[in-house]
């Protein structure tokens, strides 16, 4: 499902080059639930966005479903991402001036605007927020915002779900609920990659890989 081949990502900072990833190679099989764990600043979010066809690597190759995603044009990559990948973020990234329903429908903009209103309403009911369809994000609780974000991530029926610290802003009960949703998606055949520095997320994963200063710790990752 996912293959990173010697991926490096570097930026130019005030003091010179800054490496977010260094020669990172990772393979995630279809149907796996993998946690990428590491301290803040280790490169976890950069790795997730690189897997998600959103941040181009400086060097190396990223393949999703045998497609070299950064060999695609910008428009083709956006369509590939919309058709195959769902995202769940710590800060939710809901559009504040849109209703809950319109936030869930946002992924359809990248797939030709196919009418998925009924599917969106079904997902909101599944996640227990169907009574909030006309509300704005500011009118929701933190847990409700994350459930809306989950519904948005699943609208296009992705095969790969990427989650960036999905429990970071949640209380323990809501954190468990989100991880159970991710586990349910995995049990139904989906592939999950979650980045975290918390035990609550990595406990649900089938495999954990460790990232430090942009480098995967192969020995500890294999052991885990």
State pLDDT tens for residues 71-124: 988 888 888 888 898 888 777 788 888 899 988 888 776 655 567 888 888 888
pTM: 0.81
Secondary structure of the chain in HEC code, one letter for each residue: CEEEEEEEEEEEECCEEEEEEEEEEEEECCCCEEEEECCCCCCHHHHHHHHCCCCCCCEEEEEECCEEHHHCCHHHHHHHHHHHEEEEECCCCCCCCCCHHHHHHHHHHHHCCCCCHHHHHHHHHHCCCHHHCCCCHHHCCHHHHHHHHHHHHHCCCCCEEEEECCCCCCCHHHHHHHHHHHHHHHHCCCEEEEEECCHHHHCCCCEEEEEECCEECHHHHHHC
State pLDDT tens for residues 193-224: 998 876 656 678 888 888 887 888 754 444 44
The superfamily in CATH containing domain 32-57+65-223 is P-loop containing nucleotide triphosphate hydrolases (3.40.50.300)
Provide the pLDDT for residue 8. Answer: 87
């Amino acid at each position: 499902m996912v293959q990173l081949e010697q991926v490096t990502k570097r930026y130019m900072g005030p003091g010179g080059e800054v490496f977010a990833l260094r020669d990172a190679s990772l393979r995630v099989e279809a149907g796996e639930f993998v946690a990428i764990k590491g301290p803040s600043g280790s490169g976890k979010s950069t790795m997730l966005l690189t897997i998600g066809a959103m941040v181009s690597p400086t060097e190396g190759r990223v393949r999703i479903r045998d497609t070299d995603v950064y060999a695609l044009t910008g428009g083709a990559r956006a369509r590939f991402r919309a058709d195959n990948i769902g995202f769940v973020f710590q800060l939710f990234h809901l559009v504040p001036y849109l209703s809950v329903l319109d936030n869930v429908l946002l992924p359809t903009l990248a797939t030709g605007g196919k009418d998925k209103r009924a599917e969106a309403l079904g997902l909101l009911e599944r996640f227990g927020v169907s009574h909030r369809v006309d509300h704005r994000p500011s009118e929701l609780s933190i847990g409700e915002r994350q459930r809306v974000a989950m519904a948005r991530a699943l609208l296009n029926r992705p095969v790969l779900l990427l989650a960036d610290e999905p429990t970071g802003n949640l209380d323990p009960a809501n954190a468990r609920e989100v991880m159970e949703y991710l586990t349910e998606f995995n049990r139904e055949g989906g592939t999950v990659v979650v980045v975290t520095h918390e035990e609550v997320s990595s406990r649900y994963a089938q495999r954990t890989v460790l990232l430090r200063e942009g480098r995967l710790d192969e020995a500890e990752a294999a052991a885990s």
